[in-house]
Structure formats: structure tokens, C-alpha cells
Amino acid sequence: MSTSGNKVSRTWWGQNFIAALEKSGDSGRLSRGRAYPNNGKITRFEIKDGKVDARVRGSINPYFGVHKEPLYITTIEFHPISAAKWSAAIALIASKASLISRLLLNEIPDNIEQSFSSLGLNFLPSSEKDFKAECSCPDWGDPCKHIAGVYYKVAAELDRDPFLLFELRGLSHQDLLKELAKSPLGQALSAELQTQARSPVPVISYHTRPTTVPTVPVATLRDFWQGTRRLPQTIEPIPPALVAAIPLKKQGDFPAFWHRNNSFIDAAETLYEQVRAKGQL
């Protein structure tokens, strides 16, 4: 069943999200619901306060006396993580540079689930016990194809905005960033990220315009070639950045120009490592 999820979502969090549904769902209903996000069956879709509210078009079936296309109300409500447990999770995340740096860059670290597991929590829904789904259709299946379709739609939205995961578990993206920025490491990283963000400055021309400057008379040829001041004998090294390659990482794992299924950031890191290794030969 997990392989079918890979065709719907291209991120690891989307695939794991779908896997929770496919563990116990009926394969026939899941296969019909898998096409719902792209065939216009879902006419309304909203995520608010950890609850998904959708309207799903049903099927006409004269055999069962359904002669007019029905519209079903489908909801999926995720069980939130308590405020106390969120505080413990944020404290742990804020203490690890590998986690907080990627979150501040609007990315989901691939090892975040391990941090939650160490606190006895699971970040991604792992089974049906993590959410409650209801549909107004008469299908007795659990889940019905309408719930499955909405669930696949949620996974597609998570590919676009992975921070919906936090909102589904009871913490908004803004509140998460606000809490992370309170830690010492978060303050340092936030300051560096803000220095990287610069507003574009309009210019008349992108080409260098030649200007005339007065010449400075030189007393001797020695002064001309060596200068009047002695060059510094030592150069202080530039301190390393707290977060490397910020402009690149700001694009995220799947920027608009990246159409492959693997992470753009991981591919770039692999390429740079190969170039660096080749340069050291």
C-alpha cells in the first residue's frame, strides 16, 4: 500500500501522512478516493483549527435510487498536542541547531519525528487514533472513498505547505516561529536570517558607467608598485555563517523550477560535496 502513496505525494512527510490511512483502509475505496483531488470531486476544502472541512461530490447510481448527484459533508479532525507537550517539544527543538535552523528556513527536518518520539509523542499521524473522520454519505466503509479523497487532498497540501502539519496538531506556523525565536539559538539564527533579507533597490542601469577621476601623483616607482603603506601581514579569517547557504535553502526542498521527486537541497548538497572533493584531488 505504501507504494501507492508515493504516487500521490513526493515529500517524505506527505508519504508518511498517507501511510497512516493506508495501513487499515480498504484498497478499493482508497484507489477511488486517490483520484478525487484532481478530478474536481472536492468542491470545498478548508483547514482551520486542526479541522479539515470539505464538500465532496458523490456519484449518481440509479440502482440505489440516486438519480441526482449528491454533495456530502466530509470532515477530518486531528487530535491536537497539548500546550504542555508542545512546550516540551519546542524546548527540545530549540536546543538542536539541525532542527531549529531548518524550521526557521521554512523546512521540515527529516529527523523531527525522532525528537518527538523521545518525548513519547508522534508528530505525523501514525494511525487512525490520531484523527477522527466523518462523512455524511451512506457508505459504511471506514474510511469511505470521500474521506480517502479528502485525506489525499490534505497530503497534496502538505507538499505545498508542510507547516500545515503543525496547525493540524494545534500550533500555528506563526506561533511556532515566535516560540523558537525566544531561545538563544533562535535569536542568533533569526538575526542572521534578517540580515540576509534585503529589499530590492531600483537602479537606472545594471551596467557600470565610466567616470573620470583625477590621478594621484606618485613620487617614485617604488611607491607606484608597492604603495606607501605596508600591506597587512595577517588576515583575520571570516567567521563561518551559523547557517550555510541561506539563499539556496530559502528556496525549500521543492522550489517551483524543481520537478524531480527528490529534495532540491539534498541534491545541491551532494553536488557541492562532489565538486569540493574533486577540487581537493
Spell out the per-residue pLDDT of the chain, length 281, in tens: 333 444 566 677 778 778 877 776 666 667 777 778 778 889 999 988 888 999 998 888 777 677 788 999 999 998 888 889 998 998 888 888 878 888 877 778 888 888 888 888 888 877 777 788 899 988 777 788 888 889 888 888 888 888 888 888 888 888 888 888 888 887 777 666 666 556 777 877 778 778 888 887 877 888 778 777 777 778 888 777 666 777 777 777 788 888 887 888 888 888 888 888 876 65
Nearest to 105 by CA among 227, 242, 212, 229: 242
Of the CA atoms within 13 Å of residue 160, those in its CB half-sphere come to 6
Chain center to CA of 23? 24
What does the domain layout of the chain look like in residue ranges? 1-81+122-162, 83-120+172-196, 244-281
What does the alpha-carbon distance between residue 3 and residue 60 come to, in Å, rounded to a whole number? 31
Contact between 77 and 125 under an 8 Å Cβ cutoff? The reply is no
Contacts of 132 (CB under 8 A, 6+ apart): 76, 77, 79
| Residue 73 exposed, middle or buried by CB count within 10 Å (0-12, 13-18, 19+) | middle
Chain center to CA of 231? 48
DSSP string, the chain: -HHHHHHH--SHHHHHHHHHHHTTS-HHHHHHHTTGGGTT-EEEEEEETTEEEEEEE---BGGGTB-S--EEEEEEEEPPPPHHHHHHHHHHHHT-HHHHHHHHTT---TTHHHHHHHTT--SS--SGGGEEEEESSS---SS-HHHHHHHHHHHHHHHH-TTHHHHHTT--HHHHHHHHTTSHHHHHHHHHHHHH-------S-SSPPP---PPPP-S-HHHHHH-SSPPPS--PPPPPPSSTTHHHHTT-SS-TT--SSS-HHHHHHHHHHHHHHHHT-
What does the alpha-carbon distance between residue 131 and residue 179 come to, in Å, rounded to a whole number? 26
pLDDT of res. 6:
42
